[in-house]
Amino acid sequence: MHDTLRNWHAHSLGKAWPAGPRVLVLGAGMAGLVAAYELERRGYRVEVLEGGPRIGGRVHTHRFGPGPGAPAVELGAMRIPTHHRHTLEYVRLLGLEGELRPFTTLLSEENAYLRTANGFVRIRDAARPLCEDFRRELAVHRPGLHHTHEVTVFGAWLTAVVDAIAPPDLREALRDDLRRQLLDLVAGVDLLPHLRGAAGDRVDLHSLFAAHPGLRAGCSGRLGTFLDDILTETSPALLRLHGGMDRLPYGLAGRLTGPVRLGHRVVGLRVRQHGVLVRVRAGGRTTVRHADFVVCALPFPALRRIRVSGLDADKLAVLDSVQYCPATKVAFHCREPFWRAYGIEGGASYTGGSIRQTYYPAVDGIPGRGAALLASYTIGEEAARLGRMSPRRRHRLVLEELGAVHPELLRPGMVLGAVSTAWGDGSPWSAGCTTRWGKSPEECEVERARAARPVNRLFFAGEHCSTAPAWIEGAIESALEAVDGLVARGAGSRAGVSGHHDPAGAL
């Protein structure tokens, strides 16, 4: 599929390229592709430049082998929350609605495992050990303090969720918050309607926080802003795309009439009064393109590596200051989905250690071709540490650690292959995802607006320019805003794109 898109002109397949004004879109992730699609719908002639060898950016489905029956694993985005209306609109627009399936998330598969102080237990048996761990930890820091059963259940499960998902500093922040104020706040609300299980030893954190928004005041800055993501990621209202999330970007690219040029790395940008110069490296040659309009959908860390001129001081400042959190995923191609013998049909285990979370993707491929296991999903420092290792060392470490939970992995011939992506500082195309942890809603909006603000005819899109950073939803939202701005600005203007070899080094 990738090769057919390489420097691909849809009009060579018989589609007509619109005759309207021309725009260069930089980056073939979801933001760039949505921007390109929407601009073409409005009559613009669009060309997309992508530095990497594939489209989709941080939507990256890996297939262990050729053809649609190959086991697949998501190395980037893997789930769509049901309230992400832009994302679902494009799913529908691409005719993929029938391919949506429920996504079973962390703590939803009762037979999956959870790490406790005394080793791994099945989630269905985890309540008691988790509550014991929690009481023990609390007794060290607040000796003599006793909480009701309900409050202990709340503290134990919230700690388990945060320990599974959050980076180390937020795990510490949660413990501080619980001791200082959160448990006292929770003690003041009626927890009974939110307890689950025959013994009332589980808690529905989603219904609890929704019913008592005041509890958020008990979570300090960084944790408070991350809590939404934690609750979303463990929500029962999540979907996935059967056949792979990359059906979204490939579906969009398939609807474009203009070219999507892979292997075209942007290395310079210069904003001028009547347009933008874009310096592009492709096939060992550097050319400079002049465009009347550019939509830059590159992540800011990628943009920081590019020579830019003509940006004002505030734009340069926000370009430098937006923070990114690394993420690393390691996947194994297994001979068979051995976890099914343990009743695990999906969902995830909280494995902790260096590997943090292990997901069991749906076994959708042709039987006999094996199954994909998302052996490790980490963010923050743990992701950065794995990202700094060579792939070989990273895969070995994950295999050894996960082998303690699933000894089947250590059997000869069980692991047929391994693949990983470290979305961190070492990646040329992004450095993880935008975080605004610790910022107030007002500060978040100020940063978003500064990131998204166009500079003359250079428009910006990408999850970092949105109100939903680190989600596909945000990438789409930002693209729609950039397109609206460009259309408003471009109405009736003279427009064009030209390309030439750059002997004089115009940038």
Ligand X SMILES: Cc1cc2nc3c(=O)[nH]c(=O)nc-3n(C[C@H](O)[C@H](O)[C@H](O)COP(=O)(O)OP(=O)(O)OC[C@H]3O[C@@H](n4cnc5c(N)ncnc54)[C@H](O)[C@@H]3O)c2cc1C
> Is 203:153 a contact under the CB 8 Å cutoff?
yes
* Maximal C-alpha separation, the chain: 77
CB 30, min distance to ligand X, A: 4
CB nearer to ligand X: give 224 or 387. 387
The least distance separating ligand X from the CB of residue 81, rounded to whole angstroms, comes to 7
Nearer to ligand X, 361 or 474 (CB): 474
Q: How many residues does the structure list for the chain?
A: 507
* CB of 168 or CB of 367, closer to ligand X: 168
Min. distance of Cβ 493 from ligand X in angstroms?
25
CB of 210 to ligand X, least distance (A): 21
Residue 195 CB, shortest distance to ligand X, in Å, is 29
Least distance (Å) between residue 372 CB and ligand X: 15
CA distance 309 to 272: 9
Measuring CA to CA, which residue among 10, 60, 5, 29 is closest to residue 465?
29
CA distance 44 to 37: 10
CA distance 365 to 363: 6
**Residue 506: closest CA among 275, 336, 347:** 275
- Give me the least distance between CB of 363 and ligand X, in Å please: 19
Report the DSSP pairing between strands 202-203 and 275-282: unpaired
- Are the beta carbons of 244 and 61 closer than 8 angstroms? yes
Q: How far is the CB of 212 from ligand X (least distance, A)?
A: 27
Give the H or E element holding residue 371: strand 371-379
Taking the least distance from each CB to ligand X, the nearer of 3 and 492 is 3
- Closest distance between ligand X and the C-beta of residue 218, in Å? 27
Looking at the Cβ atoms of 88 and 415, the one nearer to ligand X is: 88
Shorter beta-carbon distance to ligand X: residue 332 or 471: 471
Closer to ligand X by CB, 150 or 246: give it. Answer: 246
| Half-sphere exposure for 81 (CA within 13 Å, toward CB) | 16
Question: 236: how many CB neighbours lie within 10 A of its CB?
Answer: 13
Q: How far apart are the first and last CA of the chain?
A: 34
The residues binding ligand X (CB under 6 A) are 26-32, 49-52, 57-59, 76-80, 265-266, 297-299, 302, 306, 327, 329, 423, 429-430, 433, 462-463, 470-475
How many other β-carbons are positioned within 10 Å of the β-carbon of residue 143?
Answer: 7
Residue number, 127 or 165, with CB nearest to ligand X: 165
Closer of 51 and 259 to ligand X (Cβ): 51
Asked if 469 contacts 436 with a C-beta cutoff of 8 angstroms, the reply is: yes
CB of 413 to ligand X, least distance (A): 29
CB-based contact 125:119 (threshold 8 Å) = no
Which lies closer to ligand X via its Cβ, residue 129 or residue 258? 258
307: how many CB neighbours lie within 10 A of its CB? 10
Handedness of CA 57, 249, 13, 483 (dihedral sign): negative
Query: Is the C-alpha dihedral spanning 405, 410, 416, 418 positive or negative?
Result: positive
